[in-house]
């Protein structure tokens, strides 16, 4: 028997192409009466030999804020273009600091499994 889909983890890099994937996730969520968890991972700045911890924290915080604003902007744009209530399909928006592969697996364990 095929397991029932209740949550879909949509990991996005906020690229233009990820919008197409989001539409696919919306279609799957609608067909399966499932919820979508949106995840964006802000990767740490590369180390250049000299540690500027305070500077790195400030820049990473700014990148996280920019990602949050971009996700919200895109959600509003998509909501305008589709007549259904998209906000009802999205259960959570998560923005994490770290490495994409690690954070995607962590969020999958925490939110979807």
The three state secondary structure string of 8-44 is EEEECCCCHHHHHHHHHHHHHHHHHCCEEEEEEEECC
pTM over 0.95: no
Q: Nearest to residue 75, comparing CAs of 60, 88, 63, 64?
A: 88
Closest Cα partner for 37 from 79, 9, 13?
A: 9
Mind listing the pLDDT tens digit for each residue in 51-91? Answer: 555 556 666 667 777 777 777 777 666 666 555 566 678 88
The two tokens of residue 6 are 């209740």
Domains of the chain in start order, with CATH, are 7-112 (3.40.50.620)
């Amino acid at each position: 028997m095929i397991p029932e889909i209740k949550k879909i983890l949509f990991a996005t890099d906020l690229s233009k192409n990820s919008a197409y994937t989001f539409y696919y996730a919306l279609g799957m969520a609608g067909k399966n009466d499932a919820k979508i968890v949106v995840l964006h991972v802000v990767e740490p700045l590369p180390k250049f030999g000299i540690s500027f911890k305070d500077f790195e924290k400030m820049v990473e915080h700014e990148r996280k804020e920019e990602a949050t604003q971009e996700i919200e902007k895109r959600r509003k744009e998509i909501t305008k273009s589709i007549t259904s209530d998209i906000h009802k399909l999205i259960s959570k928006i998560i923005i994490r600091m770290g490495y994409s592969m690690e954070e995607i697996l962590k969020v999958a364990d925490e939110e979807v499994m």
